[in-house]
């Protein structure tokens, strides 16, 4: 059996006297799409930041692709980070860079490609996220919300990652643009054989993607299973969060 892409064991996180995670376990296999859901303050974004290596937990272990994160080996950590891409909630584009330079940024940081190859790679990524070539010249301030998401996604894919992490991918988008962006994520996952982890509170996104769902509650992942299974669990948060899906499917 292959090593999980993400392997989190006995994770504990505390801010001051406030515990966010206690003995949290979480695992994602290669090729899976997993959505992390939970109430406000449940630690969804904190968990994502820890998997990204941006925050260190109080205790526990995080392994990516079988390798320990926070190993103390800067080169090993850098190699791990090249294997995943991340889309932050608001895109997090560099406002002083045009679209081309935003997407080119991680490629230039590697200092392994000449500008001709970088140009070709950037234009290929724009095409993958269904943006026209002339978008490359635009500044972030000239883009619609949907275009910002797509440019940020193109940058997340610049290094050809195996793992894609998405923080509230449809937040701030109107229903039509959200539907189109979800369709794009679904298509890219299939075309690029990606493992995908997303944090979301949007039920329409969950219904469209049909991922496995990991529910954060009571400071741990209290359930991780298919959407059709998780909505049947008798727990106060789950009953409340998935109420509209249960109603739509004729469940009490």
Whose structure tokens read 């004729």? 250
In this structure, is residue 190 part of a structural domain?
no
In this structure, is residue 78 part of a structural domain?
no
Count Cβ atoms within 10 A of the Cβ of residue 38 and give its class: 0-12 exposed, 13-18 middle, 19 or more buried. Answer: buried
In this structure, is residue 82 part of a structural domain?
no
Give the E-state strand segments of 107-200 in sequence order.
Answer: 163-167, 195-199
In this structure, is residue 226 part of a structural domain?
no
**Do the strands 220-226 and 212-217 form a parallel or antiparallel pair, or are they unpaired?**
antiparallel
In this structure, is residue 124 part of a structural domain?
yes
**Predicted confidence (pLDDT) per residue in 151-180, tens digit:** 999 999 999 999 999 999 999 999 999 999
CA distances from 12 to 22, 61, 67, 78 (A): 4, 9, 19, 24
In this structure, is residue 45 part of a structural domain?
no
In this structure, is residue 185 part of a structural domain?
no
pLDDT values of the chain reduced to their tens digit, one per residue, 252 residues: 578 999 999 999 999 999 999 999 999 999 999 999 998 888 999 999 999 989 999 999 999 999 998 878 888 888 888 899 999 988 899 999 999 999 999 999 887 789 999 999 999 999 999 999 999 999 999 999 999 999 999 999 999 999 999 999 999 999 999 999 999 999 999 999 999 999 998 999 999 999 999 999 999 999 999 999 998 999 998 988 888 664 444 433
Report how far Cα 67 is from the mean position of its chain's Cα atoms. Answer: 19
**Predicted confidence (pLDDT) per residue in 50-66, tens digit:** 999 899 999 999 999 99
In this structure, is residue 108 part of a structural domain?
yes
The partner residues of 35 in beta bridges, in order of sequence, read 198, 213
Contact 185, 196 (CB under 8 A): yes
Domain assignment of residue 135, given as a range: 93-160
Task: Give the total number of structural domains in the chain.
Answer: 1
């Amino acid at each position: 059996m292959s090593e999980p892409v993400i392997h989190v064991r006995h994770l504990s996180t505390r801010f001051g006297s406030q515990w966010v995670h206690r003995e949290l376990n979480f695992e994602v296999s290669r090729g899976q799409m997993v959505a992390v859901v939970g109430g406000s303050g449940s630690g969804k974004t904190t968990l994502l930041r820890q998997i990204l290596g941006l925050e260190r937990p109080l205790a526990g272990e995080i392994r990516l692709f079988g390798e320990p994160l926070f190993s103390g080996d800067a080169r090993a950590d850098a190699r791990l980070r090249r294997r995943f891409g991340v889309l932050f909630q608001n895109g997090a584009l560099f406002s002083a860079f045009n679209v081309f330079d935003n997407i080119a940024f991680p490629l230039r940081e590697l200092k392994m490609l000449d500008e001709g190859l970088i140009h070709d790679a950037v234009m290929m990524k724009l095409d993958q996220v269904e943006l026209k070539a002339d978008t490359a010249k635009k500044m972030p301030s000239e883009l619609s919300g949907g275009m910002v998401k797509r440019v940020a996604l193109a940058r997340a894919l610049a290094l050809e990652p195996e793992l894609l992490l998405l923080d509230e991918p449809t937040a701030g988008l109107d229903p039509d643009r959200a539907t189109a962006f979800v369709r794009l994520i679904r298509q890219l996952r299939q075309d690029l054989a990606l493992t995908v982890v997303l944090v979301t509170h949007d039920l329409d996104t969950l219904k469209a993607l049909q991922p496995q769902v990991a529910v954060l509650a009571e400071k741990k992942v209290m359930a991780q299973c298919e959407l059709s299974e998780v909505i049947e669990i008798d727990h106060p948060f789950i009953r409340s969060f998935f109420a509209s899906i249960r109603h739509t499917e004729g469940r009490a």
